[in-house]
Amino acid sequence: MADIFEKCRNFKDAKALMRLGIYGYFQPISSAQAPEIELNGKKYIMAGSNNYLGLANDPEMKKAAAEAALSRGTGSAGSRFLNGNTQYADELEAKLAKFKGKEAGLIFSAGYQMNLGVISSLLRKGDVAIVDKLDHASILDGVKLSEAEMVRFKHNDMEDLERILSKIDDSKGKLIIVDGVFSMEGDICNLPEIVKLAKKYGARIIVDDAHATGILGKKGRGTCEHFGLENGEVDLVVGTCSKTFATVGGFVVGDEDVIHYIRHNARSQIFSAALPPASIASISKALDLIWDDMSRKDKLWANTKRLKEGFKKLGFNIGATQTPIVPVFIGTMENCFKMWRATFDGGIFTTPVIPPAVPPNKCMMRVTLMATHTDEQIDRIIEVFANAGRALGIIK
């Protein structure tokens, strides 16, 4: 008889990497997400976090979270649809909508849940979702959860996007879904052209600002602000609260009637417990800090410039990144894990990225800094990468 656990016993790839000492995942960090972390009793410079603005260890953030837990408890004890909604959640949604220049907002317990709920609630059988081939997995899974057709266009290729749109029957609902900033490559979607094509072919647009919020735009409002498209050209903006907001959760903002519909139809929101008070307070405080002080964003970009210039001077291939996400392309999976091991031994915590997140033989090290890194820490990262890259023959 077939045993559904047989595939578990046959899954040996990760254990093989563990035996070789080059397994780079599920590392047990025992300190806060800061420029320097502690792992297995040793100190490492963190160069692989999404804590872009350094707010996960900010004193004001921790104070807000602690005060919320002390005054409002540790959990919501239910779905927002039933008993888990609070005045503070409603206020946060209004605040998020104002920050993004939209009428209304809705928060979810996680970014992944948000894309599942938003996308699957909007799409129906007969609709078509048009997605970039490098969109985040949560977007793809949200489409799969619906009964809609999914068509993927070549990464940031507007000719291919138009080719696809031109072939879709006008009787079908069309939804273009793109990452604002692509989470592995660090480049930005061609939003102005996407907007033009959406208008031409009668499509709606969702932009995922997970890696753009707090980073792109003069005021850190994201991809739409970056391109000067804040007058309703983009229908919905979504994102996660685990990057610049430094906690957990997801959000969607848009027209009030659309948000009202999602609120009553997104299963991942209706059937999940609401965010705990500490997370709601953290997101709200992060918004205050981002609104009031651009120095963190400016420092992040200055740090990123220093890192990119150092890598380029050494001869590393960092692709077409336009943001603080810096991919260092290594090539084969074997060399990628060896590079991770060498940088790890040099006291740098980084993230190896392998298929299916990237195509075969395009494995990379995903390097990201925080606004709170020092020049000395950045120079040390560059030095360790230089030594490891030369030892493996990746650079000369």
Is residue 155 annotated as part of the catalytic site, yes or no?
A: no
- Cα–Cα distance, 211 to 231 (Å, whole number): 21
Q: 211 with 181: CB under 8 angstroms?
A: yes
Here the tokens at position 107 are: 């928060």
Helix, strand, or coil (residue 174): strand
Q: 106 with 95: CB under 8 angstroms?
A: no
Is residue 71 annotated as part of the catalytic site, yes or no?
A: no
- Cα–Cα distance, 284 to 197 (Å, whole number): 35
The DSSP secondary structure of 270-335, one letter per residue, reads HTSBPPPHHHHHHHHHHHHHHHH-THHHHHHHHHHHHHHHHHHHHT---TT--SSEEEEEEESHHH
Is residue 183 annotated as part of the catalytic site, yes or no?
A: yes
Pick the closest to residue 106 from 282, 233, 269 (CA basis).
Answer: 269
Query: Please, is 82 exposed, middle or buried when counting C-beta atoms within 10 Å of its C-beta (0-12, 13-18, 19+)?
Result: exposed
Q: What is the DSSP letter of 154?
A: P
Residue 368 bridge partners (DSSP): 48, 325
The DSSP secondary structure of 187-224, one letter per residue, reads -B--HHHHHHHHHHHT-EEEEE-TTTTTTSSTTS--HH
Q: Which amino acid is at 203?
A: A
Please, what's the b/e burial string for 44-68 (b: 16 or more CB within 10 A of its CB; e: otherwise)? Answer: bbbbbbbbbbbbbbbeebbebbeeb
| Catalytic residue selected from 109, 183, 242, 282 | 183
> How distant is the alpha carbon of residue 226 from its chain centre?
17
| Catalytic residue selected from 100, 226, 243, 297 | 243
Helix, strand, or coil (residue 178): strand
| Catalytic residue selected from 102, 136, 211, 338 | 211
CA dist list (Å): 103 to 106, 219, 254: 11, 18, 6
Q: 211 with 183: CB under 8 angstroms?
A: yes
- Cα–Cα distance, 63 to 282 (Å, whole number): 9
Catalytic residues: 183, 211, 243
